[in-house]
Each structure stands twice: as structure tokens, then as C-alpha cells.
Structure 1
Amino acid sequence: MSASVTETVVAQQNGYVKPLEPEKHCNGTTTNSKPCDLPSHTESFEVIPLWAAITTYFAFGLLILISYLRELLRRWGWIRYGAKVEGMKDFVPLYSDFEAMYTLNIYGRIKDCWNRPIASNAGDHFDVLERKTTDSFNSDLKVTGRKIRALNLSSYNYLGFAETQGSCAEDARRALSTYGAGTCSSRRELGTLDIHKELEQLVAEFVGKPAALTFGMGFATNSANLPVVVGKGSLIISDQLNHASIVLGSRLSGAKIELFKHNDMDDLERKLRHAIVYGQPRTRRPYKKILIVVEGVYSMEGSVVNLPRVVELKKKYKAYVYLDEAHSIGAMGETGRGVCEYWGVNPADIDIMMGTFTKSFGACGGYIAASEEIVDQVRRHSHNDAYAVSMSGPVAAQAVSALKTIMGRDGTDLGRHRLKQLAENSRYMRRRLMEMGFIVWGNHDSPVIPLMIFQPAKLAAFSRELLARGIGVVVVGFPATGITETRARFCLSAAHTREMLDEALAVLDDVGNRLQLKYSCHPLKSNSH
């Protein structure tokens, strides 16, 4: 293992996990007068201050107490159910009591912060449709028809290909006139187009694998294909923060499932060692195969998998690795080839590489890239390939065009420029937020930047205040996160200019002061920008 990899170890000081900077400066040069940027291949994780944790638990406790009180008053007839609930209250509930209470009284109260419809492409800016209600507890949100033009800090448009102009959009338009809007068939029947074959060849070449197979839905690429490569008698060792599609696919496979702590390689090794020593439950027979399942970039944490260590453990214990690169392909690495390139890992050491076209490529669908034997196995046995409608021609053309641009096959350096712009934007935004005193989690090179909010009331206030000032963000709270891990999640894009980011940072600085969100006990010292 190279020295740059071993230098990613973190040390804990007073509850703050600070990355150890490599001996070499992050720009690869000797010391100069300008302060060094955030060190590469490292992550920051600052735990919630005690006073913030206490107030967060108190706020949630008070909300739940008031919610149960409202439910009691409803049963006594002192408070009316909403029109949507009134006619259903005597039927058998579809949810647990707590879930129904939480949805109606807490989630429902700030539902204007979720699922906001947009009325434009998801570029650097987008049009958000305003939704309002007269009674935030009981009434449905109504679209007023007013459009709010907002800076887009919430879409997975990492390389800016979700655009209505340019070579990708033109290629998609031409494909629409050639192939139509849909295939109306599965890949195994009449749904395979010549452009699907072209896309699969490009993907295999791009990620460094012998073969690839594409699918029309990214979620189903995991959920429908994991059961093809593992089954009963096998073991899946999965990161505890893996995506829901991986969770579903693992459960459908029938394999034994073990979770290891997020990105904790020591815990992963303990699980591997235990599995090999003790074998299957009850019978103690050896597992048929052990599959380690990890993601490249974790979309809620902004963290990057410690892939060199995963590969090291895979070889040591003769396991297999399944790598989900939905958020890392096209967004990580000097040429956009994902976390293998980012860490300098040989793609041959990864048994199965999964990715999607929904993020960096501005399209939809996913792929499995592996050896020809594994791809043939997936092609023969995947329900997705047999029954799901295949990717439409225009969507495949969008992905092909984006891939050619990234690889420089379009005759321009636009792809290289976008990759560089994304990397610069991600590091610049992260450093400025840390200098302002916000607690920011994740890898310093990740385009996903979680800004910790902690308290539930501030979550709604943060979202509404930013939208009112023309900035669209995603906010996430319990139960999607832990109670004390409420956050806003920024997704950076190559489409963002430095002026756009500075405009957003100025607003964030003001809103952070107003809502008292600058919790950090270890803010970075200001750098010259």
C-alpha cells in the first residue's frame, strides 16, 4: 500500500476527528506563502457539541409529546382530522401508531420542504414551483403556479450534462427521431438497440472491465442483480450505510447478511475473520462465497470508501468485492473513472463494478461491469434484463454522448475542463463552509457536502429561508438520519461558476448566523481565495 493511502488515518482530539495531512503538500509542491488547500484523500468528521445534542434531543422529545397530545385530542373530537384522513380514520391503519403520528404531526408540518416540483432542467439554476397550504397539519399542499428561480445546489448533476443545449442534448434529440421515445420491450425480446451495444462497449472501456451490461433503472440494477451473483449459502458483508437498493437486493438474494460499521476496515476484517472461522449458522459449513458490498461515494455522508484497504482484505480472506459507483463514476478521479482511479486501485481487483447514468451523465439507468463470465451470468438470469423495459434510445444517446465527452472522443477538451471544474468547486465550497464555522462532514474531494443542522426546527427554517433567497437545497432529517444528524446536503456541479458559489456562500453565512448553525469548535483559518 502506498504512503498516500496509509496517511488517510484520522486521529481523534476532544471529540473532533481531524485528518492527518500527508508530508507532501496537497498541491505536490514545497511550502510557499499561500496556505495549502484541504489535504486530499482525507475526511473530516466533527461530532455534535454536547449543548447542541441536549437541545436537539429536547426539541424532538417536545415535538413527540405535543404530537401525541394532538392525537389524543383528535380521538376526543376536540381537533378534526384533515379531509384526507377523516374518511379513513375508522379503517385498519396501514402504518404503525408511531409512524402515522410522526407523518401527520411532524413530517406533515414541514412537508413544503420536501418533494418540491421543478419546472425546468436541473442545471446550475432551476425553476421551483411554489407550494402552499392554509393548514400545514391537515391540508394537502397546493401548487400556486408561481415559479421561483433558484440556484441548484441539490441535484446530482455533477458534470453539468443535464442541460437543454450542447452536444449531448443534440444527440438525444437526433436519437428521439431515430428510435422514438421508448422501446416497449425488454432487452431479451425486442428491446435491444444498436446504441445499447455501443453504450456497453464504451462503459466497459471507460471503467476498465472486459464487459458491461446496461439497465433502464439504477435502483433495479442493484436490487434485481445482487440476487443473481449471490444466493443461499453465501454471505454478504455490507457497509451499514449502503443504499436502499443494495439493502433490498441483499434481502432478495437469500444470502446471510452481516453489516460492518461505516467505512470501518477493522470492523470489516473482524466480520470476515468470524465468517471464515465459524462458517454458516447452525451447520458451521463454509460459506459458498463471501461478497463485500461497498459504495464509492456515500451520498448522505459525503464520504469515500477506503478502497485500497477493502481490496487488501478481499485478497487476504479470498472474498469478492461488489462496488456501487452511482455517485463516484464521472465525479471522482482525474479522468472521471471513479474511486478506482482516485485511489490508484487496479479495476481488475474489483470483481463487480456497478454504476448509474443518473448522476454524472445526465441520463438514467445503470450498468454492471465485470468479467465476461459474470456479465453473461447476469444477462441470463437477471429479472431486470428479462422483464423490465429497456433504456430508451434518447436516454442511451445522452449517456453515450456524455461518455464520449468525458473520454475526449468528441474532439474537445470539454470533458477534462468539467472534471477539473467539479473538483475545484467541491474543495472550494467545502473549505469556505469550514472557515465560516459550519460542521461539514465527508471526504475533502467529494462533490457531496453535508452541512450539519442537528435541530429539527432549524431544518425547516434553513430550507425555507434559502429558497426565499433563491437557493434550492435538500434537507434531510430523522428517520432518514439519526436524531442528532439532521443535515442539509449540497451537491456541487461543474456547471457552477465561482461567482455562483460566492453568492450562495454569502447567503449561507448570513442564514447560518441568523439560525445559529455555526457549531464548529475547530473552524479552519481563513485562506486567500
Structure 2
Amino acid sequence: MALHRRNGTPFGKGNHDLRQNGSVAYTNGHHKSNGTVLTDETAHPKASKVGKKDFSESFEEVELLTALVTYMSYIILALVGYCRDILMRLGIDKDKAAQESPKLKAFTPLYQDFDSFFTRHMYRKVRDNWNVPIAGLPGAESDLLERYSDDNFWSFKLTGTTRKVINIGSYNYLGFAENHGPRSDAVVASTQYYGNGVCSSRQELGTLALTVELEKLVAEFLGQEDAITFGMGFATNSLNIPSIMGRGCLIVSDRLNHASLVLGVRLSGATVKVFEHNNMESLEKLLKMAIAEGQPRTHRPWKKILIIVEGIYSMEGSIVKLPEVIAIKKKYKCYLYLDEAHSIGALGPTGRGVVEYFGLDYRDVDVMMGTFTKSFGGSGGYIAGSKELVDYIRVNSHSATYASSTSAPVVEQVLSTLKTIMGRDGTTVGQDRVEALKRNTQYFRRRLREMGFVVYGNDDSPVVPVLMYLPAKMTCFARECRKRGLAVVIVGFPATPIIEGRARICLSAAHTRQMLDEALKIMDEVGEELGVKYSRHPLPPLTDKSKME
């Protein structure tokens, strides 16, 4: 079955010729201001009318000395680790890590590789900052289960007590992860009627009336013809990209795309080329070369070309330059796959994501993907697009064929939340929360930069990476914040470049100004104590505080 665009051009077929009429004017979006702030303004004629005039992103480069010290830190950790491995082999030190069975000596070892080494000697030393159990909902405030270790973090024991903290680590962007109110009441009623599980895949007996209603509402919300939902956000990418792409196809992927997209690309069997993050010059140069050269060995035209980008990049806090991507996509007759896992609900005047944020036409995005795990307080994901595309995925998707369907309580949570965002519940709660998230985001980001922290990403992105660089300072920052009543997520190598360890903050509409001020106070104290205010160009404090309200 061939997929077709709305204009009748087949999705599954079609050759790509570099010789096409028309030209597109655009910039790479990197206009440096004082050497640190990159202000992105598209120059495409259409984008100039719909683009964001205040679209700005900050990516301050690390100082050379800080980078060298960070590299040295990892080198020292590795040397100490190798020394300990020698002591363990001599029987002087005890190794509590997973070991190969003596019966499997003839087999390739499963554990004694770099990943195991990194886990034993680096991750283990800081693992008290990960997998922290909570004893309540992941709201603006949470209760953490306190624990301790008496064997150097090989294992943990619970103390039986909890600690209340301000939570700036969960993806609860609109604050709909809650345990009371009309949405929670609807979930309870749905559970009583449908039960807890579906016990079937979508292609068998796993399609509920609620599921059909949700898919219609998602398509309407996104301005698309149809939509299909899945029970897991990660699988929405990894198991559906292979259903629309295959051998003889080309996928052009942003270098910082999520692991679920990377896995989906690998499983598809398509040729993949990676362009520099959010760099339009890199994207177009890559496309020109790929189209001119054609497929490897045969040099035949590609069956189809798919550009894959994200709305908000979850580690960088940056927003895709969608007007420029769409302009390039149209120029080279490619398809566009947009992952809105973090941007749906969090961007745009009414929470409809990055397309609405730029004021673009939803139909210019061929495949719109998103998840329900962030702004909607549920789980699962969706793909929206033309009816031909969605019908094709319903039949060919491994997730629709083999994975269990989303349970009724989760579907009801997402459905009732979506109705609230759209104002279908007769209130302005959804709109109020979208606006509150934007205010909280801009306020928190500016205050951090005024304090002297290096903050990555776009001014409108609720994902706020705060650079710590050194692994020791990064882990101490999380521990000290937690002691003071602030839960912070830290991310380091290999999830980030080795010299770009960071605290990743996720803001929520549920955060009050008092909570944000308390969080900023704690971060300011800990930042001064640890010396992690690395910015060489902090913002001056606003004299008119009303502008931050």
C-alpha cells in the first residue's frame, strides 16, 4: 500500500531531483550577540511573517580551563577505576558488581566491557542522585523516600521517613499530574466502568470507545485529518518509523534527536545522515549531497526522504527552527517527521505545540508525533497526519499489531485533560495553565541568568539545562539542593557530551511564584557554595520588576 500526500503525490514512491525551480532565502539562525546569545530569526519570506520576533536561544561556550579540569576529572576517575580493578583481580578489594559465571568462560563476556566499568567506578559513586523513590504524585511538591547506603552506594536501604521537596525535575508541564479534581474523578469513573486493563492489542479487541474518541479529538486539536494512539511514547517512535521507512529510503536526522528516534531509524533499515543540531546550513548541504549522489552503490534516486526533528530538545532546551525546516523540506520535496513529546501543551498560545508557536500551517508537517506523558499527565503517544498515513500505520505498525492497548483509566486521563486544554469543559483552566507555564518559564530562566548560571536553550522552553560541567560539582549540587528541600535532576556523560554535565530543570504551571523564588534561593546558595556560576555574561537585573510578572 502506498501512502499519499494530500495533493495526491504518493508517500511511498517518488524520485527526488536536485534540479527544481524556485529558491528559498534563509539563514542558519546563528546571529551572535555579545558572543553568547544566539538570536534566531528566519529570513524565509513566509517565515518572516509568522516567525517569532523574540526567538532567542543561549548557548554560552565553556571556558577552556573549565573544560580541561572536567576532562582531567574523568581521566582521574578512570585511572582510579583501573587501579581498583587490579586490586579486585588480586583479591585485595571486593567487587560487588555482576560477574560472569565460571561455566561461561568460553563465551563472550556480557559484563566486562566499558559500560560495566563506567557503572562500577563512575556511576556507582553518584547513583544516590538517580532512581530516587517518591511517595506521592509528581506535582509541584513531592515526598521523597529517604534512604542511605552503608556499602558505598552498591545498595540502598530505606529509612522509613519522607522528605517534602519542591519538585523541578518532573515533566509535569501543565500540572495535570494530580490526584483530585474533575479529571481524577473521570478517571475513577472510567476505571469502575472499563476496569484497569484492556488485555489485547489495537488490531484485536483493544480499541475502546474512549480510544476512538481520543483519536478524533487529538486530530482536531492538531489540525490533522486523523490520529492513532499508542500505549508507550518511546515505542511510538521506535516501532512506527520502521513502518513508513525502509531500504532505499533516506532519513535525515538532527544530531541531538531522542534515543527513541535513533532506535526507530536503525530498525527501519533506511540510510541515515545526521546534520548538526538545529543548523539549517548543515541540513541543506547534507540534502544537496544526498540527492545528487543518490543511493549507495547504485546511485538511484531515493524512494523517499524523511527529515526528523523534535519540537523541544529535552537535553538542550532548544526549540526547532521549524519555519526554516519546512522551507527546506518544500524546496527538496522531502517529508517531515516532527516529535512533539516535550512541546505539545508546552508551546503555543493555546498549547498546540511548536507549529502554533510559529504560526505555521499544521498540514506542512507530514507526520506529527507526540506523547501523553508530559503535559497530559498520562502515558502513551500519538501519530497524527493525513488519513492515508494513519490508516497505513494502523495496518503496518508493530505497536498496533503486537503491543497491548492503552488502558481505559489512562485514556480517560488524557481525554479529560485534552478537553480541559481545549476549553471543552466550560472553563478556562487549560488556557490559564498554558499561560502560567509561559510566565514561569520566562521568569525562572531570566532569574537564573541574572544569578550568573550558564543556562542553555530557548527563552520559551520549560526545559531548563543549567550547566555544571564537573562531575563532582554536578553531583554535589543535586545532593545539597535535596538537603535544602529542592529536587533537581542532573544529567551527565554519556547522556550529554563529556564536558557538559548539567542540572535539567522542568518547570510546571503548578509552580507558584513563591515556590519558584524558594527554588531560586536554594540554587543561588548552593551555586555560590560550589562555585558553579560560570557565566561570563550574566544578565543585568530588571529594574522594572513588573515586566517579570
Tell me, yes or no, if structure 1 residue 343 matches structure 2 residue 358: yes
Seen in structure 2, the aligned counterparts of structure 1 residues 114 and 378 have a Cα distance that, compared at 3 Å, is same
Aligned amino acid, residue 193 of structure 1:
L
TM-score, structure 1 normalization: 0.93
Match of 1:359 in 2: 374
Aligned pair partner of 1:146 in 161, 171, 176: 161
What pairs up with 1:107-256 in 2 under 5 angstroms?
A: 107-136=123-152, 139-256=154-271
Displacement of 1:95 after TM fit? 3.6
What pairs up with 1:45-84 in 2 under 5 angstroms?
A: 45-82=59-96, 84=97
Aligned amino acid, residue 72 of structure 1:
I
Aligned pair partner of 1:487 in 490, 502, 513: 502
CA contact (8 A) 1:15 1:47 kept: no
CA contact (8 A) 2:100 2:111 kept: no
Displacement of 1:132 after TM fit? 1.5
Seen in structure 2, the aligned counterparts of structure 1 residues 18 and 293 have a Cα distance that, compared at 3 Å, is closer
Distance in 2 of aligned mates of 1:450 and 1:379: 37
Displacement of 1:97 after TM fit? 2.9
For 1:314-344, what per-residue CA distance to the aligned partner results, in whole angstroms no more than 9, with x for missing partners?
0000000000000000000000000000011
Displacement of 1:86 after TM fit? 6.5
Displacement of 1:21 after TM fit? 8.9
Aligned pair partner of 2:534 in 501, 508, 519: 519
Secondary structure at the aligned position of 1:46 is classed as coil
Distance in 2 of aligned mates of 1:21 and 1:276: 27
Seen in structure 2, the aligned counterparts of structure 1 residues 186 and 482 have a Cα distance that, compared at 3 Å, is same
For 1:466-488, what per-residue CA distance to the aligned partner results, in whole angstroms no more than 9, with x for missing partners?
11111111100111111111000
Distance in 2 of aligned mates of 1:325 and 1:143: 37
Aligned amino acid, residue 119 of structure 2:
T
Distance in 1 of aligned mates of 2:150 and 2:98: 16
Gaps of at least 5 residues in structure 1 are 23-37
CA contact (8 A) 1:8 1:42 kept: no
Seen in structure 2, the aligned counterparts of structure 1 residues 201 and 438 have a Cα distance that, compared at 3 Å, is same
Seen in structure 2, the aligned counterparts of structure 1 residues 362 and 518 have a Cα distance that, compared at 3 Å, is same
Distance in 1 of aligned mates of 2:53 and 2:361: 23
Displacement of 1:9 after TM fit? 3.1
Tell me, yes or no, if structure 1 residue 41 matches structure 2 residue 61: no
Tell me, yes or no, if structure 1 residue 289 matches structure 2 residue 309: no
Displacement of 1:76 after TM fit? 1.3
Match of 2:447 in 1: 432
For 1:221-246, what per-residue CA distance to the aligned partner results, in whole angstroms no more than 9, with x for missing partners?
11110011111110000011111111
Tell me, yes or no, if structure 1 residue 272 matches structure 2 residue 293: no
Match of 1:16 in 2: 36
Displacement of 1:459 after TM fit? 1.3
Displacement of 1:98 after TM fit? 2.3
CA contact (8 A) 1:463 1:474 kept: yes
Seen in structure 2, the aligned counterparts of structure 1 residues 51 and 15 have a Cα distance that, compared at 3 Å, is farther
Displacement of 1:415 after TM fit? 0.7
CA contact (8 A) 1:215 1:365 kept: yes
CA contact (8 A) 1:438 1:452 kept: yes
Distance in 2 of aligned mates of 1:72 and 1:339: 52
Seen in structure 2, the aligned counterparts of structure 1 residues 203 and 266 have a Cα distance that, compared at 3 Å, is same
Tell me, yes or no, if structure 1 residue 102 matches structure 2 residue 118: yes
Aligned amino acid, residue 132 of structure 1:
Y
Aligned amino acid, residue 508 of structure 2:
S
Matched positions, count: 508
Distance in 2 of aligned mates of 1:342 and 1:124: 25
Tell me, yes or no, if structure 1 residue 498 matches structure 2 residue 523: no
Aligned amino acid, residue 294 of structure 1:
V
For 1:273-301, what per-residue CA distance to the aligned partner results, in whole angstroms no more than 9, with x for missing partners?
11110000100000000000000000111
Aligned amino acid, residue 63 of structure 1:
L
Q: What percent of counterpart residues are identical?
A: 54
Secondary structure at the aligned position of 1:363 is classed as coil
Displacement of 1:190 after TM fit? 0.8
Aligned amino acid, residue 123 of structure 1:
G
Distance in 1 of aligned mates of 2:377 and 2:248: 39
Aligned amino acid, residue 162 of structure 1:
A
Match of 1:26 in 2: none
Distance in 2 of aligned mates of 1:264 and 1:112: 37
CA contact (8 A) 1:59 1:455 kept: yes
Seen in structure 2, the aligned counterparts of structure 1 residues 477 and 39 have a Cα distance that, compared at 3 Å, is farther
CA contact (8 A) 2:39 2:55 kept: no
Match of 1:34 in 2: none
Secondary structure at the aligned position of 2:495 is classed as coil
Aligned amino acid, residue 258 of structure 1:
K
Distance in 2 of aligned mates of 1:86 and 1:338: 47
TM-score, structure 2 normalization: 0.90
Distance in 1 of aligned mates of 2:399 and 2:93: 48
Match of 1:33 in 2: none
Distance in 2 of aligned mates of 1:341 and 1:151: 31
Aligned amino acid, residue 97 of structure 1:
D
Match of 1:29 in 2: none
Seen in structure 2, the aligned counterparts of structure 1 residues 165 and 408 have a Cα distance that, compared at 3 Å, is same
Displacement of 1:145 after TM fit? 2.1
CA contact (8 A) 2:28 2:281 kept: no
Give the RMSD, CA atoms, in angstroms.
1.9
CA contact (8 A) 1:39 1:444 kept: no
Displacement of 1:99 after TM fit? 2.0
Aligned pair partner of 1:318 in 323, 333, 349: 333
Seen in structure 2, the aligned counterparts of structure 1 residues 277 and 116 have a Cα distance that, compared at 3 Å, is same
Distance in 2 of aligned mates of 1:249 and 1:119: 34
Secondary structure at the aligned position of 2:59 is classed as strand
Displacement of 1:458 after TM fit? 0.7
For 1:106-128, what per-residue CA distance to the aligned partner results, in whole angstroms no more than 9, with x for missing partners?
10011111111111011111111
CA contact (8 A) 1:109 1:136 kept: yes
Distance in 2 of aligned mates of 1:97 and 1:197: 47
Seen in structure 2, the aligned counterparts of structure 1 residues 229 and 387 have a Cα distance that, compared at 3 Å, is same
Distance in 2 of aligned mates of 1:440 and 1:526: 16
Aligned amino acid, residue 60 of structure 1:
Y
Distance in 2 of aligned mates of 1:225 and 1:95: 31
